[in-house]
Amino acid sequence: MRRIRSAFYFAAAVLATAALALAATAAEPQHSPYADGHEDREIKALSPEETEQLLSGHGMGLALPAELNGYPGPKHVIELTDELELSGEQRDAVSEVFDGMLRKAIDLGFEVVAAERRLDALFAQAEATPEALRAALEELEALRADLRYTHLAAHLETKALLTEHQVHRYIELRGYGAEGHHLPGQGHQHGHP
């Protein structure tokens, strides 16, 4: 009987210790992954680096579906002028595509940053309503779609200015022609023989 009573008291002590430990943990403030400076940002959803990229017209990976599927980007084509053996006419035309894309991307980047700022202000000023939120998000996403379109369309225009040989050479030079990378015209295999 003493053994049973001792085992009971031991089990009760273990349970009480676990309950106290759990209660102490629950009482401690939980660390959010957003408490590392996000709360101090001017625009909570954008890092300073993201803001700078938007304002300077950087691609930010927006054109990866084009770039990685055989549609060269104008900036990189210009950088590879000699290796691609661009004619003067091609270089001028690609430069024109790049300059036009960059102007539009910068303008849209400023608009995206302003829309993000307005979205942030809805919450910061406690003015968020379902209707205001929907309108802010629709505006923001339309701007982001326009920005992405601008980058992707520049890849379409650039490819149309190059020969098939230049496109394949671009893919090789950019390192996309290695084993496992899709080259234009090959189709996607997805593991099927």
**pLDDT tens digits for range 64-115:** 999 999 999 999 999 999 999 999 999 999 999 999 999 999 999 999 999 9
**108-164 pLDDT per residue, tens:** 999 999 999 999 999 999 999 999 999 999 999 999 999 999 999 999 999 999 999
| pLDDT tens digits, one per residue of 28-51 | 556 666 656 666 778 888 999 999
* Rounded distance between C-alpha atoms, residue 116 and residue 175, angstroms: 35
Mean pLDDT of 15-37: 58
- Confidence class of residue 2 from pLDDT cuts 50, 70 and 90? low
pTM of the model: 0.75
Q: Is 71 left (phi over 0), alpha (psi -120 to 50) or beta?
A: beta
CA pair distance 72, 29, nearest whole angstrom = 50
Look at 136 and 4; give whichever has higher pLDDT.
136
Residues shown for the chain: 193
* Rounded Cα–Cα distance for residues 55 and 144 (Å): 13
Is 120 in contact with 43 (CB distance < 8 Å)? Answer: yes
